[in-house]
Structure 1
Amino acid sequence: MNIACIAHDEKKDDLVAFMTAYEQVFSGHTLYATGTTGKRIMEATSLNLHMFRSGPLGGDQQIGAMIAENKMDAVLFFRDPLTAQPHEPDINALIRLSDVYSIPLATNMATAELLVNALKRGELEWRRVIAERTEGDRHD
């Protein structure tokens, strides 16, 4: 599965702790992250992540493009709801795309834990079927 990791500044520590706690689960998947978030996760774990730009510099949009191409299976986006973000329209677009394409999106640790436990149980395998069907449609 392709999983994106994003965190606002005030939530980066939480996401790093979460990725560390579930490192064994995530090690079997392809991980993507925005700038500093990905760097912090790689420094704290042995996970390898494909890095995008930081969120305000277009990283959210790069992940959104993967969602629109049906190349992203889940998103962990630890948002800070108490701090205004200068790239709020990009954040809203990413959330909207996740809804449009039925991509599981966790915006906090509680929901992320539900998502990772579903991942461990194989409950997201329907994403593989969708991805294979979409890939087949592109070749027809």
Structure 2
Amino acid sequence: MKIALIAHDKKKVDIVQFVEAYQPIFKDHELFATGTTGLRIQEATGLSVHRFQSGPLGGDQEIGAMIAKNEMDMVIFFRDPLTAQPHEPDIAALIRLCDVYSIPLATNMGTAEVLVRGLDRGDFHWRTIIHKQER
């Protein structure tokens, strides 16, 4: 599965620790991330991560485009709800696209853990069925 990993500045340490904790699961999937988040994950884990621009420079929109083309299967986005973000409209658009295209989305560590454990159990097999139907 293709998994997007995004984190606001104050949440980057959290997402790196999260990926480290679940590295045995993440290693079996294609990982995508916005700029600095992806770099930090790569450095900490050695996992291969396709990196987009940083969020404010269009990375959120690049991930959104993949969602709109049904090329992303899950989004883990550790948001900082207490800090204003200059690219808030892009963030809202990304979340809206996840809802429109039924892409599982976690915006905090608690929900991300549920999604990753479900991924490990095979709960997202329906995404592979959708991909096969598109061919």
Give the TM interval when normalised to the shorter protein: over 0.9
Aligned position for 2:74:
74
Where does structure 2 lack aligned partners over 5 or more consecutive residues? none
Identical-residue share of aligned pairs (%) = 67
Is the partner of 1:75 in helix, strand or coil? strand
Aligned position for 2:89:
89
Tell me the amino acid that sits aligned with residue 67 of structure 2.
I
Aligned position for 1:57:
57
Is the partner of 1:66 in helix, strand or coil? helix
Aligned position for 1:108:
108
Q: Say how many residue pairs are matched.
A: 135
Is the partner of 1:130 in helix, strand or coil? helix
Aligned position for 2:39:
39
Q: Write out aligned runs for 1:9-28 (5 A).
A: 9-28=9-28
Tell me the amino acid that sits aligned with residue 58 of structure 2.
G
CA distance in 2, matches of 1:117, 1:92: 26
Is the partner of 1:32 in helix, strand or coil? strand
The superposition leaves residues 59-112 of structure 1 with CA deviations (integer Å, 9 ceiling, x where unpaired) of 000000000000000000000000000000000000000000000000000000
Q: Runs of 4 or more off by more than 3 Å in structure 1?
A: none
CA distance in 1, matches of 2:4, 2:62: 10
Is the partner of 2:56 in helix, strand or coil? helix
The superposition leaves residues 13-32 of structure 1 with CA deviations (integer Å, 9 ceiling, x where unpaired) of 00000000000100000000
CA distance in 2, matches of 1:33, 1:9: 13
CA distance in 1, matches of 2:132, 2:56: 32
TM norm structure 2: 0.99
CA distance in 1, matches of 2:47, 2:105: 20
Where does structure 1 lack aligned partners over 5 or more consecutive residues? none
